[in-house]
Structure 1
Amino acid sequence: MSNKERQGDFYAGSRLLNPLSGITGLPIDQVNFLACQLFGIAISIPFRKLLDPRTTNPKVRHAVELVVGLAMAYFCFQYHILHVIVQCGICYLILLFGPAKWMPTLVFIVAITYLSVCHIYRMIYDYGGYTLDITGPLMITTQKVTSLAFALYDGTSRDEKKLTADQKSQMIKKCPDPLTFWSYIFYYHGFMSGPLAFFSDYLDFIDGSNFLGKKGPDGAQTTSEAREPPNPMPTVARKVGESAIFGVLMLCQPIFCPWDFLMSEEFYTNYNFFQRLTYTFITMSMCRPKYYLAWRLADAVNNAAGLGYRKSNEVLKDDWDLLNNIDIKTLETCDSLKINIDSWNKQTSLWLRRIVYDRAPESFRVPLVFMISAFWHGFYPGYYLTFATGTLFTFAARQVRRNIRPLFIGQDQRTQKFLYDCVTFFFTRLANIYMVAPFVLLEIWASLRLYTSLFWFLHIGSIAIIIFFTFIKPPKKDKGAKGQ
């Protein structure tokens, strides 16, 4: 099945740029997406200069964000934006009138249920398709309303002494007014592909607090130390340039190593184990640039508007990576599966940590995070196979790091440590591409067939590691600690 055959014909967005689609060969949904992102960068220059937060009422900035965001959303999705309005409208009513104790849970249930229904409907009318539709923005709005609900719950219904430092930094004391809420939902430089900006960070951007200098002794921002907002355009230019490179790599993938070849009879008939593994390694690696492109470009659009500046006590520090959704260098070079996972879709990982991991019972944290992440992505069986595999690999990697790594750490073991790092670097890459293959293939039988052709070797190895270090040779308990 070719990539073109996986492209649906149901796209509801504007057809105004059809001629450009014909010239470039890109589907109209992708043309509209790129056009909106580039328009977002262009309009952000006058937005940032003419509506400077130091001289402009926050309500004016909120209104412009909302109007421009609605216009761009309608251009790309037209009447489908009603799904966002319904989902977020119901959640907003719960924020206003829901029982305080259950408010964040109810918001989470409503948001994830509405998103799930849209995911299922999408599977019915475009199974396996990759056309951009409203489910993408709905995934972002689900993150927005749920994180907002928990921040409001922390700020109004919990004892502040019991909050973590991170929860204190994110909590809000009152429900936002309608203009602020809908501006947060639809702001034009984050609606198309995010990444998620948490509500407190968005408010800091609107009123200019993200450009303040050092904090006072009590941790409060000192407005007297406000300084000239740094120019984001050099950073924007760099990120747009990187996006262009990733765009070229994305276009090369279907030419030189199409991922759908993994679903062909030729792949299984003519290739042996090592050839199949090598091709899977290459094609899954080449699937990443399209995500690099989308997230780098989204980051650039946010930066152009002034969102994404990281507040720091270092006045001269110029850091526009607050919303950086992927640490490409770390992801491609790390020797730890945990770091590899944490470097990918970072804002989603942070969202999962703040609303799931930090609030769940300790023994259920990892499985719950993977389960909620799978629900959030959708209901293709490949997603669940990927996240189940990820859970297994995470537990196995912990055992390796806890029991094997100390054997290679020491003053006189530099060579051994280097060899250990080389081996873990290789297996981190291998585990990553092996784990995400079902995520790309989507279909359960195609995924199972691929794993079977690879003899499930990493699954078996991971299970063996867990069994060995849990039952056969568990770590020795500290007798002194036990006595205490």
Structure 2
Amino acid sequence: MGIYSTLLFTSTFVFILLVCSVDPRSIHVWVFGIQMLWQTFWHLLIQYREYYLHESISIRLFLAVSSLMLLTQRITSVSMDLHEKRVMLPLNASSKREACVTLLPLISYILNFTTLLGGPLCPFSRFVSLMAGIGLNPPPNPLWVVFLKLMQVLLLEWVRYCLVYFLKHTNIILYGVQWVWGLAVVLRIQYYSHWRISECLNNAAGFGFWENSSGDSSDWTRLSDGDFWTIEASSRMSEFARRWNATTASWLRRLVYIKCKRFPLFMTFSFSLWWHGLHLGHFVGMLTWAATVKADYHIHRHLCPKLSPTWRKIYTCLSWINTQMIVTCIVIAVELRNMSGLRLLSITYIGLFPLFNIILLFILLKLNTVY
């Protein structure tokens, strides 16, 4: 990251200062506010240089800001642990050695490069317990597990290459819903490959291992952001939202959803929009996601009890298609970030799928109010 690595070191330095000087009961508010202001400043600076000055942005800066977002996850996770007294740090050290024993695990966790490059979010307590016991009870050799997961990455990349080739050379008749859906699958496969590579990196370092108490084979899947087949098999938007980027979804739930008394779902997606960088496509994508998840809850609650087993299977199939189309709209809007993604959705009419769900949500809310 070059000089831009100072973004991460600055956040870490400020966080350690706050830990040493602020009362644990109010530390989360301070950490959350300062860290999000720091991250937002860099997001807005990138947008200003990219859209108003029309400057080319250094890839090093993009990498640093991406890592800064993951650092925000880690720092706020620890601040919540301190606030809720899940983690206790004895900071009244009488010597430099005792101070280092207290603070070095914290710094090591925050700047741990295996998760700083691409996630997933590992809890601080789990990180410390692994580091403390790795010499006494080391995990088994992860070589075979890493090899199998890398083979999955190669398979995903091969599928992505075939899809890209097909989209480039397809007949113009398919330029519509099918073409845009294929493009969204290509973009999602990039995420799945990235998560698998990050998972491999963490497994190679010994993270993500849980020993099964039943004596079965070792489980190396406890530190993962998602699996292609599990996520893509989701037949409901609410299922997809919980499974997509799983550790980030858990962090958002803990940070925002549980704490909000009013409109927790929309507040959670609104914060996700802020955390991601406030691009136009993010506004459309995140708010559409929130509205369609809310619609999914009401539609499923209204229809499922009235369906026979046969119709329930048909409903599940149609619901899967509906989920895929909505996710396509969200991915295109979020990934293309600007008006080009929104124009593509309007030209192909695929945006009618989330619109239909939102209209149906308002109808069901109106019926619930009447009856």
1:185 is displaced (CA, Å) by 1.8
Q: 1:254 Cα deviation (Å)?
A: 4.7
Residues 1:420 and 2:315 are matched in the alignment: yes
Q: Distance in 2 between matches of 1:130 and 1:277?
A: 34
Matched, 1:140 2:35: no
Paired position in structure 2 for 1:329: 229
The SS at the match of 2:317 is helix
Question: What's 2:131 paired with?
Answer: 206
Deviations 1:65-116 (A, max 9, x none): xxxxxxxxxxxx1221111011121122112212333210110111111111
SS in 2 for 1:189: helix
| Cα distance per residue 1:128-164 (max 9 Å; x no partner) | 9794520111111100000000001111xxxxxxxxx
Give yes or no for the alignment of 1:339 onto 2:236: no
Name the TM-score, length of structure 1 as normaliser: 0.68
CA distance in 2, matches of 1:307, 1:446: 40
Instruction: Indicate the structure (1 or 2) with the bigger Cα radius of gyration.
Output: 1
Q: What SS does the aligned partner of 1:452 have?
A: helix
- Map 1:116-195 onto structure 2 (within 5 A): 116-126=40-50, 131=59, 132-155=62-85, 171-174=86-89, 177-195=102-120
Q: CA deviation at 1:365?
A: 1.1
The separation in 1 between residues aligned to 2:369 and 2:210, in whole angstroms, is: 43
For structure 2, the 5+ residue unaligned runs are: 91-100
**The 10-residue stretch of structure 1 (139-148 or 322-331) with the greater mean CA deviation from structure 2:** 322-331
CA distance in 1, matches of 2:58, 2:182: 21
Q: Is the 8 A contact 1:468 1:474 kept in 2?
A: no
How many angstroms apart in 2 are the aligned matches of 1:245 and 1:326? 16
| d(CA) in 1 for partners of 2:77, 2:217 | 28
Query: AA paired with 1:243?
Result: V
Specify every segment of 5 or more residues in structure 1 that has no aligned partner in the other structure, as ranges. Answer: 1-76, 156-170, 212-225, 262-266, 477-484
Residue 291 (structure 2) pairs with residue 392 (structure 1): yes
**Corresponding position: 1:472 with 2:371:** no
Equivalent in the alignment of 2:156: 246
Q: Superposition RMSD on alpha carbons, in Å?
A: 2.6
How far the C-alpha of 1:251 sits from its partner, in A, is: 4.3
Given that residues 328 and 343 in structure 1 are in contact (C-alpha distance below 8 angstroms), is that contact kept between their aligned partners in structure 2?
Answer: no
Residue in structure 2 matched with residue 449 of structure 1 by the alignment: 343
1:277 aligns with 2:177: yes
From the superposition, tell whether residues 298 and 191 of structure 1 become closer, same or farther in structure 2 (CA, over 3 Å). Answer: same
More deviation in 451-460 or 386-395? 451-460
Q: Which amino acid aligns with 2:70?
A: I
Look up the match of 2:147: 237
1:376 equivalenced with 2:301 (yes/no): no
CA 1:92–1:475: 2 relative to 1, 3 Å:
farther
Deviations 1:313-353 (A, max 9, x none): 43445111121111221111121111112111111001111
Instruction: Tell me, in whole angstroms, the C-alpha distance in 2 between the residues paired with 1:321 and 1:423.
Output: 31
Name the CA shift for 1:312/1:294 in 2 (closer, same or farther; >3 Å): same
* Equivalent residue, structure 2, for 1:94: 18
Aligned to 2:328: 433
8 Å CA contact 2:210, 2:220 repeated in 1:
yes
Q: Is the 8 A contact 1:309 1:320 kept in 2?
A: yes
On the 8 A contact 1:382/1:438 being kept in 2, the answer is yes
Structure 1: which amino acid aligns with 2:359? A
Pick one of 286, 290, 299 that aligns with 2:199: 299
Report the alpha carbon displacement of residue 125 of structure 1 after superposing the two structures with TM: 3.6
Which of residues 22, 28, 35 in structure 2 aligns to 1:111? 35
Q: Write the deviation string for residues 352-380 of structure 1: whole angstroms up to 9, x where unpaired.
A: 1111112221x321111101111111121
* Cα separation, 1, equivalents of 2:58 and 2:130: 33
For 1:307 and 1:401, the matched residues in 2 are separated by 38
Q: Which one has the bigger helix percentage?
A: 2
What one-letter code is carried by the residue in structure 2 that aligns with 1:336?
R
Partners of 1:364 and 1:94 in 2: how far apart?
31
Amino acid at match of 2:75: V
Kindly provide the amino acid, as one letter, of the partner of residue 140 in structure 1: L
Residue aligned with 2:218, SS: coil
Identity %: 22
3-state SS of paired residue (2:84) = helix
1: distance between equivalents of 2:345 and 2:116? Answer: 36
Q: Distance in 2 between matches of 1:365 and 1:375?
A: 15
Please, which of 302, 305, 309 is the counterpart of residue 403 of structure 1? 302
The structural deviation recorded for 1:435 is 2.1
The answer (yes or no) to whether the contact 1:399–1:465 under 8 Å persists in 2 is no
Once the 2 structures are TM-superposed, how far is the Cα of residue 469 of structure 1 from its aligned partner?
A: 1.2
User: Which residue of structure 2 lines up, in the alignment, with residue 5 of structure 1?
Assistant: none
Contact 2:156–2:189 under 8 Å retained in 1: yes
Q: Name the count of aligned residue pairs.
A: 353
Change in CA separation of 1:235 and 1:126 when aligned onto 2, cut-off 3 Å: farther
Q: Choose 183-192 or 295-304, whichever is displaced more.
A: 183-192
The answer to whether structure 1 residue 85 and structure 2 residue 9 are counterparts is: yes
**Does 1:364 find its partner at 2:263?**
yes
